Amino acid sequence: MSTAAVDPIVIEIVKGALKACGDEMEAVMVRTSMSPFIREKGDHFSGLADRHARILYTTHDRSGPGMLETIFERYPPESMNPGDVYWVSDPYLLKGAISHTPDMCFIAPAFFGREIVGYSLCFGHFWDIGGSRPGSISPQATDIFQEGMSVPQVRIVDQGRLNDDLYRTILRNSRYPDMLEGDTRAMMAASRLGQTRMIELFERYGVQQVDAAFEALHRRSEHAVRKCIETNVRPGVYRFADYVDNDCVTDTSYRVEVEVAFDRDGVALVDCTGSDDQARGPINYLMHPDSCRMLFSRYLVSMDGTVHQNQGAYRAIGEVRLRSGSILQPVRPAPLGLRAHTLWRFANAVLGVFAQATQGKTPAGSPDYVIVIFNAVDAKPGEHFFCTDGIGAGQGARPYADGLDVIYVGTQKNYPIEFLESAYPMRVERYGIAPDSGGPGRYRGGVGVVRDYRIHAEKVVVATRMGNQQTPPWGVNGGRAGRSGRIVCNPGQPDERTVPGFAEGVMLKRGDLLRIVTCGGGGYGHPFEREPQRVLDDVLDGFVSREAAHSDYGVVLDETGLAVDEAATADERSALRPVAGMFDRGANFERLEAQRRRAGAAK
């Protein structure tokens, strides 16, 4: 397709219109959906694709590609009609374009005249779709059938008419059919809205101009990504590995490894075959090759800041090599519910590769998010009182700024305390920060959270999801690793006990207190290079303790605790302790690697 004729002004207008449309679809989902997951937490996605099913725009930066191909396998474009809406959620049919069962995807083709000119897509993480546990995700799942229903490619709306038989069948399989109805209505409304907006764009500028603008936007993103690589990356082959603490059903840790070959302005090969075999528990991450490419391009696009994350953005990422039966390419019916832990280790490994290729001009490592699931077992018969609370953690420091304190990666929102307490039998007695959890550095890693829940029901069963206890997020260029989190029941009481990071069936009774302390991000640069005033500020605001200011940063405060003792600090810092190597991987990483080598040699 020629782009010579495209008006540069039309490109800008089309770019703005795509974003506005994505935002509008999102607003409908948030305002009218019912799952707290979607409306409070924001676990949803909307996007638009061109006539060739290439993603043009997404509101979230790690989903989208690959969904349409799956629909086409059953319903090729020539079989589609105006007014159709398609539904799919089966992760294996989707080859990982959606990577666990609760994310339900809706797609609507946009017809201009008699031809399809594009598609609108959206998904939301649904509250409950059946399976072994309320919420459909369990750390104990050992196959995908325990994780609720999978919807294959179906035409849920046929030329404007809802397929009611199918709809009722699906709703019947949820513990919360009303919520499922509200959520699916919101998704279908959003996908139809995207369809309408796309058609309006074609009405306004005509097929030729809009198609040409789409192509120009793909090329612009590709150009930005290539330029980013060319400017920053030293061509060569780099490898990085990280660990998922365990697979929830055994105590074996799982290794994720990626080896990347960069050429001058692109990635020639992403080799993931060195990663471990698939797990018995639900940490398997079924990675679509395009999802892998997107994890590369999201970092590169973030460095540019002016282009959309679209299919053009990952044209510069070449072959993705995956090994069937591995943790990144599991075979059905392996469970997938907790794949986020493996996904985020992989995304961090990509950053680790970039760190080596750019002499450390990248953010330090970040931990996974943390989730706690509460099930009130004394609810009335027929009621399943349950709550899934997502908790943020500290993010890696940047070469120019501190890491972000308490962020839920994946850009989602927390539940307000006032929402939790009005809806569930619990009190949140503390929602604060975890002092000293951020990796020390010239730029400090972000701190994690302390969140205390007091149980107000007779009996509650808790499941937990917290990674990074074995290998915390690494520090870069002299920065230290972040500090791991922990989960404790009744801290400071005679019956105090530690709860594992991946646990199911933890019994709590009325009056018990569950404390979640989450991990901090890695630091950047040597902590002795941090300005003493900023260390003091961190002490005054509670992010760093006075003791850690001394031991980690070499900053001594005077007796008031309100000022830096300049002389003592200079003295302390004169003994600058050099840090060897690009990364600080924390205390356990080398031990795990050595175990792995021994096991390999034994084979």
The strand pairing partners of 564, in sequence order, are 557
The whole-angstrom separation of Cα 187 and Cα 547 is: 51
Q: How far is the CB of 61 from other proteins (least distance, A)?
A: 7
Nearer to other proteins, 92 or 369 (CB): 369
Identify which of residues 247 and 405 has a Cβ nearer to other proteins in the complex. Answer: 405
Our finding on whether 265 is near other proteins (CB under 8 A) is no
Q: Are strands 266-271 and 317-321 parallel, antiparallel or unpaired?
A: parallel
7 or 143: CB nearest other proteins: 7
Answer yes or no whether residue 305 interacts with other proteins by CB under 8 A: yes
Q: What is the rounded (10 degree) CA torsion for 155, 173, 384, 133? A: -100
Q: Among 418, 492, 567, 575, which residue sits at the site for other proteins (rule: CB under 8 A)?
A: 418
- Find where tokens 């990509």 sit: 350
Q: Which of 51, 133, 298, 530 binds other proteins (CB under 8 A)?
A: 298
> Using the rule CB under 8 A, which residue among 449, 463, 489, 516 binds other proteins?
449
Among 74, 321, 413, 546, binds other proteins (CB under 8 A): 413
Total residues binding other proteins (CB under 8 A) = 84
State which of positions 506-545 bind other proteins (CB under 8 A).
Answer: 540-542
Among 68, 107, 122, 409, binds other proteins (CB under 8 A): 409
Residue 161's φ and ψ, nearest 5 degrees, are -105, 120
> Can you read off the two tokens belonging to residue 280?
């018995």
| CB 23, min distance to other proteins, A | 8
Contacts with other proteins in 1-20 (CB under 8 A)?
8-9, 11-13, 15-17, 19-20
329-348 residues in contact with other proteins (CB under 8 A) are none
CB neighbours of 280 closer than 8 A, spacing ≥ 6? 142, 247, 249, 250
CB of 328 within 8 A of CB of 271?
no
Q: Based on the shown chain and the rule CB under 8 A, indicate whether residue 304 belongs to the binding site for other proteins.
A: yes
Task: Name the region of 496 (left: φ>0; alpha: ψ -120 to 50; beta: rest).
Answer: beta
Provide the minimum distance between the beta carbon of 137 and other proteins in the complex, in angstroms, as a whole number: 19
Contact residue for other proteins among 260, 407, 455, 555 (CB under 8 A): 407
Would you say 110 or 189 has its CB closer to other proteins? 189
DSSP calls for 86-146: EEE--TTTTTTSS-STTEEEEEEEEEETTEEEEEEEEEEE-S---SSSTTS--TT--SGGG
Please report, as residue ranges, which positions from 224 to 253 form the binding site for other proteins (by CB under 8 A).
224, 227
Task: Give residues 172-201 in contact with other proteins (rule: CB under 8 A).
Answer: 178-179, 181-182, 185-186, 188-189, 192-193
| Sign of the alpha-carbon torsion through 276, 280, 285, 288 | positive
Q: Please, which residue, 68 or 549, has the CB nearer to other proteins?
A: 549
Options 405, 512, 552, 584; binder of other proteins; rule CB under 8 A: 405
DSSP per-residue letters across 499-549: E-SEEEEEEEETT-EEEEEPPPPPPBS-GGGS-HHHHHHHHHTTSS-HHHH
Stretch 540-569 residues interacting with other proteins (CB under 8 A): 540-542
Among positions 348-377, residues that touch other proteins (CB under 8 A) are 363, 366
**Nearer of residues 255 and 515 to other proteins, judged by Cβ:** 515
Sign of the CA dihedral running 487, 489, 493, 496: negative
- Radius of gyration of the chain, Cα coordinates, nearest whole angstrom: 25
- DSSP conformational letter for 401: B
Piece of 21-29, 141-149, 242-250, 581-589 that binds other proteins (CB under 8 A): 21-29
- Answer yes or no: are the C-beta atoms of 501 and 487 closer than 8 Å: yes
Q: What is the largest CA-CA distance in the chain?
A: 79
Nearest to other proteins of 142, 191 (CB atom): 191
406 binds other proteins (CB under 8 A): yes
Residue 408 lies near other proteins (rule: CB under 8 A): yes
